[in-house]
Amino acid sequence: MKELERTTKFNIWYILIAILFVVMIRDFWANQSQVKHVPYSEFQQLLESKQIKKVTLRGEQVQGELTAPKEGEKFVHTTRVEFEMAKDLQKYGVEFERQVENRFFQNVLSWVLPVLIFFAIWSFIAKRAMGQMGGMQGGFMSVGKSKAKIYVEKDTKVTFSDVAGADEAKSELQELVEFLKSPDKYNRLGSRMPKGILLVGPPGTGKTLIARAVAGEAGVPFFSTNGAEFVEMFVGVGAARVRDLFEQARKKSPCIIFIDELDALGRTRLSGMGHGNDEKEQTLNQLLAELDGFDSSSGIILLAATNRPEILDPALLRSGRFDRQVLVDKPDKDGRLAILKLHVKKTRLKGDTDLEKVAALTPGFTGADLANLVNEASLVALRRNGEEVSEADFTAAIERMIAGLEKKNRLINPFEKKVVAHHEMGHAIVSKALQANEAIHKVSIIPRGIGSLGYTIQRPTEDRYLMTKTELQGKMAGLLGGRAAELLIFSHLSTGAADDLDKATEIAWNAVTRYGMNEKLGFVVYDKAQSGFLGDGMPSFKARLYSDETAREIDCAVRDLLKSALDQAKEILFTNLEILKTSAEVLMEKETLTEKELEPFFSRITISGEHPK
């Protein structure tokens, strides 16, 4: 109410000032309209004819009042000429006087105006600098204020029905929604909800979307911010923002605070001198204090998301702070199908499009990848001027995302084309013979990406979570099928198998050092798996915890596995040599073979025979 009264008073003052300004302008204009500017020669003639009654001198200006003015002309005005002015005026008996010009306001403005201009420029530059350093738009006084965006139920526009492929995470968080809707139900038995819930998972799996869905289901205010927004170059700013965020949340309880990318704020504090960051540590300490300071019964729930849980500070993950961790992993086949159905609601699909087959073609895709896939497929349909998005458009989009852009203008000589065709059909035939749970979806010799001259796309027929040693050997043999085909047909080696060798070597190395699949080395782990969802990102130099003799045994075991896989691939291709040659000729002619076109060749594959050593 006081703000309203103050605003009203200000408005009245504005009106009064405007009226006064209009009156002053009107008087000034009226006076100016009565003044006639004349040359000095005419002014002398007026003096001689005694038509001027009074003269006023203002600096270099001379103004004379006429004795008998015409209508609308009461004064005359001219530029002062100093030469014997007083003598002339006395000669003609004219009353005259000199007025001292008041220069007070002019002097004041000459000092104040430059200061105001300097202050305005300084304020503008300061605000720009604060903006670049993470300051708020409100200026210096708001630098310690939280930059969290506040949403209400109608703003989030996301519910659990908009989330697919994460059923376990949704069921975990459904209990949280019920607590926010009816907290008395849980307080009645003395139970409490976790103070903090941490969503962990690979990038793109929908952690932020699930957090917004919780707010949309519960219908409570939703404070959304990022861990990086707390960390500034000024020590103490991040801690102030944490305090301000929780103060705002207490005023709007019950509510949800969501901190995305928590690892930017909660990274492990380093021990030792000269290795810490005072600002980050103070911000993290303040967050820990706030987590200890608010009661879960107050209706404030802290949600956070990260894809790097391995680097979070242990104090942040202990019981009583982030009590519960919810894994949001990459979806399985059914989850991918559900996500695709959500994203194609606004897409015009062709009637015979099999989304289940598309879901089978995308193992390892996250929710974000699938959303991008639907968009890419619609773009492919637009490029061909199609009215609907077909299954072929989805296949082309998958190839674009996995293998890269198709390079139709790259010309390869006939011999290289023949080598690539036999190489890819070697992959396809060996994989079909040994990997019963994966179908060969497509084989192509059209170059894609940076260095790919051809590719073979396999489609898993079911989700697999465990693999036996025999299945790993079959996978290695399929990867080495291209090199085996080159050796059988051309009796030489080429650089085309570089990526295949890399993947096969990784499988063999893991089988020996991590899975204990070598009898001589025993059931011992010699190489620990990488932690986290992002991987190391850089070559790692790990300390070797075994002897040189053991290292040699590992090298020999890996080499033996790869040699056995190559021999197995050569055996299969030698047995089916005619199929390899015939299918490669057809592939050279058509450049791409689909699953239906490959079936006549695959139906005649056998897995017996001898191969040349």
Residues designated catalytic: 424
**How many CB atoms are located within 10 Å of the residue 364 CB?**
10
Q: Round to the nearest angstrom and report the end-to-end CA distance of the chain.
A: 96
Alpha-carbon gap, residue 502 to 495, rounded angstroms: 12
Backbone angles phi, psi at 200, to 5 degrees: -120, 145
Residue 606 neighbours by CB under 8 Å, 6+ apart = 575, 576
Residue with tokens 């810490």: 276
Q: Token pair of 450, please?
A: 């940076």
Picking from 370, 284, 384, 283, the residue whose alpha carbon sits closest to that of residue 331 is 370
In the chain, the amino acid numbered 572 is: I
Backbone angles phi, psi at 58, to 5 degrees: -130, 100
The HSE-up count of residue 287 (CA atoms within 13 Å, CB side) is 32
Q: What share of the chain is helix, strand, coil (3-state, %, to 5)?
A: 55, 15, 35
Contact 283, 231 (CB under 8 A): yes
Contact 239, 285 (CB under 8 A): yes
Identify any residues that bridge with 95 across adjacent strands, giving them in sequence order.
54
Residue 231 neighbours by CB under 8 Å, 6+ apart = 238, 264, 265, 279, 280, 283
| Residue 531 DSSP label | P
Alpha-carbon gap, residue 111 to 104, rounded angstroms: 11
Burial of 177 (0-12, 13-18, 19+ CB in 10 A): buried
In the chain, the amino acid numbered 16 is: L
Q: Judging by DSSP bridges, how do beta strands 255-260 and 300-306 pair with one another?
A: parallel
